[in-house]
């Protein structure tokens, strides 16, 4: 009974914390815009002259789960859609300019498999655009490094699903510690960091990664995932504010990447239980009928409260929501037995995420390092 009461008190306090964050007037640090134009708002335009940035078959290090054409996807229309912001043009991505800007620099993506999606997209774009540049690729534990020696540039991926600590406790087993980041030392010393988390917070059943969640001195078998996410992200924001020198390191948070498991969100009434499987075109227009995932408000609330480091939000949610056609579905790692409406085909939507990242770098003076 005492445990239930403390749980209820915790939820009440947490919901209050969450609401206070959401209703704040957001103070974006450096946004995806150029003047009055928001690069993250717009629509997808079909252009048969718009070729993908690379051929996945020529990018040998793409994970099989993202190689949709290699896994037998028969349609190719999804490769010919171009993101068109409302009222302006997205700066054209220049691989040569990118590696010149970051000559001698180290860039790290930190997060789950959606970070892997974006990291592999960027490495493939650079590999295809700079065919005469040598590269090395190595993986040690959860750290992968793509290195271009001609420019002494390193693009690294650190797999970390929650950002906060997931530890093994002899008594309780796997414990997700919402108020602890001990592995953050491995994130120091980089010129640009791109963080991401959310995907794994939603897992259920035997896919749950923890046996207990710890907040402060209390342990819980489970709790509202949005609240847990908010607490964990707040811990991450405090770590960034305390450990990152904004004059030496650019910091971004990859916005919430949406899923497409519920056809009613995009008004698909053709069949009960419709998902991304079989979808071959984006949602038309600029607005996704299903609205934004609730985690978006949590991210914006936490970022707006950061006091020392201006973290840029790479707001990929709206443009990705419109791409119900961009997932591997049955052409992912699980084949016909699976239906992946969470990750993204490569080439595909994550390429545009990197184009938006580049747009920030070339249009915003605060992004110089």
Catalytic annotation, residues = 113, 340, 343
- Cα angle: 30, vertex 260, 175; to 5 degrees: 75
Give the H or E element holding residue 101.
helix 95-101
How many other CB atoms are found less than 10 A from the CB of residue 243? 15
Using CB atoms within 10 Å of the CB of residue 28, give its burial: 0 to 12 exposed, 13 to 18 middle, 19+ buried. Answer: middle
Q: What is the DSSP letter of 143?
A: E
Q: Which of 114, 100, 240, 109 is nearest to 184 (CA)?
A: 240
**Beta strand 153-159 pairing with 106-111:** parallel
In angstroms, the Cα distances linking 34 to 83, 313, 354, 359 are 16, 14, 16, 8
Residues present in the chain in total? 369
Q: What's the CA gap between 32 and 361, in Å, rounded? A: 10
User: Taking the chain, what is the end-to-end CA distance rounded to the nearest angstrom?
Assistant: 54
């Amino acid at each position: 009974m005492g445990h239930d009461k403390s749980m209820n008190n915790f939820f009440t306090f947490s919901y209050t914390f969450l609401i206070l964050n959401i209703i704040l007037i957001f103070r974006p640090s450096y946004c995806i815009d150029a003047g009055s134009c928001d690069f993250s708002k717009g629509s997808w335009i079909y252009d048969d002259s718009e070729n993908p940035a690379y051929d996945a078959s020529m990018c040998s290090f793409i994970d099989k789960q993202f190689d949709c054409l290699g896994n037998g996807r028969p349609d190719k229309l999804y490769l010919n859609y171009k993101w068109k912001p409302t009222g302006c043009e997205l700066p054209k991505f220049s691989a040569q300019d990118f590696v010149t800007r970051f000559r001698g620099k180290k860039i790290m993506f930190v997060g789950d498999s959606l970070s892997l999606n974006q990291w592999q997209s960027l490495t493939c774009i650079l590999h295809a655009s700079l065919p005469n540049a040598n590269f090395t690729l190595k993986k040690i534990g959860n750290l992968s490094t793509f290195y271009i020696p001609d420019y002494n540039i390193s693009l690294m991926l650190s797999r970390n699903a929650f950002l906060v600590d997931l530890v093994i406790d002899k008594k309780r087993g796997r414990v997700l510690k919402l108020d602890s980041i001990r592995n953050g030392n491995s994130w120091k010393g980089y010129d640009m960091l791109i963080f991401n988390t959310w995907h794994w917070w939603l897992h259920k059943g035997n896919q749950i990664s923890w046996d207990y969640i710890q907040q402060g001195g209390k342990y819980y078998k489970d709790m509202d995932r949005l609240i847990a996410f908010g607490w964990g992200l707040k811990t991450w924001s405090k770590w960034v504010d305390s450990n990152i020198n904004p004059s030496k390191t650019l910091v971004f948070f990859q916005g919430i990447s949406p899923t497409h498991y519920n056809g009613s969100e995009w008004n698909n009434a053709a069949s009960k239980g419709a998902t991304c499987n079989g979808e071959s075109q984006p949602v038309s227009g600029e607005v996704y009928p299903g609205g934004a995932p609730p985690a978006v408000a949590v991210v914006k609330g936490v970022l707006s409260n950061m006091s020392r480091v201006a973290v840029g939000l790479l707001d990929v949610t709206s443009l990705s929501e419109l791409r119900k056609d961009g997932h591997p579905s049955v052409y992912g790692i699980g084949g016909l037995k699976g239906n992946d409406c969470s990750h993204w085909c490569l080439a595909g939507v994550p390429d545009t995420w990197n184009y938006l990242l580049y747009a920030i770098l070339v249009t915003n003076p605060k992004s110089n390092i």
